[in-house]
């Protein structure tokens, strides 16, 4: 399952060369990830209210082509890998169907009170199953 999040590149996100600064891509990945989780049926805010946090443990991004102010891009988000305690998302940034950047993030499932890892399958079987079913074959 792939979620598509449209984003219009803002002027404040550009650097002196007039292209989107590299530090913006993780923010765009977050927007895609948040929409993906919402599409599954539970928002990030609800997860946190339920006592689950998803701290970032790894981030990668490959910049392929520059994106400019007012370009309208699509962030494609999918789940690459899922265990009971971790989830890895994949991202593709597309402009008119052309791959501009791609990356991934890895997050742990932790208890918001103790910040200790939790077994998401035991904590919320329904959400875990939905995430598992979303992974491409």
CB 94 within 8 A of CB 100: yes
Residue 41 is predicted with a pLDDT of 84
3-state secondary structure at position 42: coil
Residue 4 is predicted with a pLDDT of 96
Residue 97 is predicted with a pLDDT of 96
Beta bridge partners of 4: 76
Could you state, in chain order, the average pLDDT of each consecutive group of 10 residues for the chain (137 residues)? 95 91 96 93 86 94 96 97 96 98 96 92 90 86
What is the CATH code for 3-134? 3.10.129.10
Spell out a b/e string for 11-28, using b for 16 or more CB atoms within 10 Å of the CB, else e. eebbeeeebbeeebbeeb
Residue 58 is predicted with a pLDDT of 97
Residue 43 is predicted with a pLDDT of 84
Question: Is pTM, for the whole model, over 0.85?
Answer: yes
Q: What residue segments make up the domains of the chain, in order of their start?
A: 3-134
């Amino acid at each position: 399952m792939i979620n598509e999040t449209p984003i219009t590149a803002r002027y404040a996100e550009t650097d002196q060369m007039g292209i989107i600064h590299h530090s913006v891509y993780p923010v765009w990945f977050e927007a895609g990830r948040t929409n993906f989780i919402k599409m599954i049926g539970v928002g990030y805010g609800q997860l946190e209210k339920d006592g689950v946090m998803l701290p970032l443990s790894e981030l990668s991004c490959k910049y392929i082509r520059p994106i400019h102010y007012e370009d309208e891009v699509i962030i494609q988000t999918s789940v690459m890998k899922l265990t009971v305690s971790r989830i890895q998302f994949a991202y593709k940034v597309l402009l008119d169907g052309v791959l501009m950047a791609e990356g991934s993030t890895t997050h742990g499932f932790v208890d918001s009170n103790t910040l200790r890892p939790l077994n998401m399958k035991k904590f919320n079987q329904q959400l875990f199953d939905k995430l598992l079913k979303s992974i491409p074959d």
